[in-house]
Amino acid sequence: MALTSSPWASLGEQWGPLKAPHANRFIFSHDLSNGAMNMLEVFVSSLEEFQPDLVVLSGLHMMDGQSKELQRKRLLEVVTSISDIPTGVPIHLELASMTNLELMRSIVHQQVFPVVTSLGLNEQELLFLSQAASGPHSSLSSWSGVPDVGMVSDILFWILKEHGRSQNRASDLTRIHFHTLVYHILATVDGHWANQLAAVAAGARVAGTQACATETIDASRVSLRAPWEFSTSHLEAGSRITVNPSKPVVEWHREGISFYFTPVLVCKDPVRTVGLGDAISAEGLFYSEVHPQ
């Protein structure tokens, strides 16, 4: 849909200005994809000195072509290093491409999910995660076109309900930032995060500006492809939502978990796409406020 002649033309303006809770937030970031575990060890050892407000880890690839032994060893080293991060420092993990079901099950059930606070992922990673752990809609072989919002919501709910923090579970996971090309959803366990409406809007906004290599949203260079209406669940009686261009972030709640949805203004002719998922999650985290527990 062309924005210049539609009621959505001012969507970029409706997102801003967005207020970040901490102007001087100190965030440490490390890319796990370089494979040099000694660099990760140095990174972790430096945290005690610099005392960051948040740690962001990205690039945890587990692809075909790597031996299972190497993948297991790498995963164990990553988990050990994550466990050495000082207590009380929130950790965000940005998932990367994975094709090993066994290792994904290990990540979900045993090793990674319990020790990270926040998770970022796209539609392929979300569905693969559900398939690996027999979650909702795991019978799907792949998404057909735009991922169905209700199905995505069901899987996000399941992850946080079954593997996130609760009174009966020793897990730190309380937040998931899901991003696909045409929309984003932030899901959080209630009581742990604030300012998520601004956070999801900020992530969607940077998706449009970075892909088009512009400072602000240029309505002539982006299009709207997100669904106008959707159901919030396919596994229970979810509500039917119509997105309002004057209030582009939609919020709903389900058993102690809050969801924040916003459309993305998709760049028609993208210039920069490498690292876009990391940029989306980083921007969302910058605008997020975590409540100390």
Residues carrying an active site annotation: 278
Task: Using alpha carbons, select from 162, 35, 54, 53 the residue that is nearest to residue 109.
Answer: 162
C-beta of residue 249 within 8 angstroms of C-beta of residue 262: yes
C-beta of residue 120 within 8 angstroms of C-beta of residue 177: yes
Alpha helix ranges (H) inside the chain: 11-15, 37-50, 68-83, 101-106, 123-132, 149-163, 196-212, 276-286
Angle between helices 68-83 and 37-50 (to 10 degrees): 10
Alpha-carbon gap, residue 122 to 107, rounded angstroms:
16
